[in-house]
Amino acid sequence: MTLNRRQVLQASASATTAGLLAGGAALLGRPALARPAQALRPPGAIAEADFLGACVRCGLCVRDCPPQNLKLSRWGDGLARDVAIGTPYFVAREIPCEMCEAVPCVKACPTGALDHRLTDINQARMGVAVLIDQENCLNFLGLRCDVCYRVCPVIDQAITLEKVSNPRSDRHAMLLPTVHAEHCTGCGKCEKSCVLEQAAIKVLPTAIARGELGHHYRKGWDATNQGGRPHFDAPVQNLPAQPVPGDLAPLRSGREAYDPAAAASANATHPAGPGQ
């Protein structure tokens, strides 16, 4: 096949047009990377940047979702304006994830945009609940609401009630709902059931909700986190098993200075030891 000048020019014109069209389409898809925090992805969704390349927007997860909480973004309706068109999401405050044991939405996904390795729904991480408004949370006001705690499917692990003294009365307790991100699946039941006009507890995408500890930090009390550093489960100082002469501690306590001879005679007269 020989190319003449006309064909080369036509081909380059077509190629340029095609490049511009494809580039335009790519630009149109860019804002979708800024998915709104309230739009949560289904269980097992891979990282958002990969998700946009893996999800074919077929809606099979939506069809197999028993509580019908998943929907496909259609542009135009409020929140969905910024969710990539055709991709599945749910809004916890409207219909939270029911955490079906069989995980039907993940099984329905033909491309693995919802990772098929997720077989235990308790391992899903759709986001993390954050008690974002302590000023309005009823439990922080000293009342016993506890609704978010009680509806939590991973109760006493993902949300616990931490008892602290109420400084206003000085004789009552406050039971503060406390999220433990390690166990939170991000199902959104807490956000859905919060009794306030606007939920005080909200599920946020993990990237927004969580901080990240400096990688050089070592928690000395965490046995799994030693990283070759010294162990602290043994005492920092090896205190002598027997009292030593010159130990100043008894002086500080107001008692007499330690005298080995006196101690020996005291032990002899009171074999049961001190304290009697």
Partner 1 sequence: MTDPAVISRSFGISRSAAAKAPGRDAVRDKGWWRAHRFLVLRRLSQLAVFGLFLLGPLAGLWVVKGNLSSSLTLGVLPLTDPFLLAQVLATRHWPETSALLGAAIVIVFYATVGGRVFCSWVCPVNVVTDSAAWLRRKLKITTGRAPRGGLRYWLAGAVLLASAITGQLVWESVNPVSLTQRALIFGGSVAWGAAAAVFLFDLLIAPRGWCGHACPVGAAYALIGSKGLLRVAATHSSRCNDCADCYAVCPEPQVIVLPLKGKAGHGPVITDRDCTNCGRCIDVCGPDVFRYTHRLDSKRD
- In one letter, which amino acid is 49? A
Listed ranges 35-43, 59-67, 155-163, 223-231: which one lies at the site for partner 1 (CB under 8 A): 59-67
Per CB under 8 A, 207 contacts partner 1: no
Listed ranges 44-52, 194-202, 214-222, 252-260: which one lies at the site for partner 1 (CB under 8 A): 44-52
Please give the size of the binding site for partner 1, defined by CB under 8 A.
49
Per CB under 8 A, 82 contacts partner 1: no
Q: Which residue's CB is nearer to partner 1, number 48 or number 133?
A: 48
Per CB under 8 A, 168 contacts partner 1: no
Per CB under 8 A, 220 contacts partner 1: no
Per CB under 8 A, 21 contacts partner 1: yes
User: What is the residue whose two structure tokens read 């001879």?
Assistant: 261
DSSP state of 155: B
Rounded to whole angstroms, how far apart are CA atoms 234 and 236?
6
The set of residues, in sequence order, having a beta carbon less than 8 Å from that of 187 and lying 6+ positions away, is 92, 96, 97, 98, 99, 124, 126, 153, 203
Rounded to whole angstroms, how far apart are CA atoms 262 and 2?
115
Among 23, 66, 67, 250, binds partner 1 (CB under 8 A): 23
Q: Which of 105, 153, 106, 145 is nearest to 129 (CA)?
A: 153
Rounded to whole angstroms, how far apart are CA atoms 88 and 94?
15
Among 2, 3, 5, 26, binds partner 1 (CB under 8 A): 26
Instruction: Return the exposure string of 194-216: e unless at least 16 CB atoms fall within 10 Å of the residue's CB, then b.
Output: beeeebbbbbbbeeebeeeeeee
Per CB under 8 A, 9 contacts partner 1: no
Residues lying near partner 1 in the complex (CB under 8 A) are found at 7, 10-11, 13-15, 17-19, 21-26, 28-30, 32, 49-50, 52-60, 62-64, 71-72, 74-77, 84-86, 108-113, 116
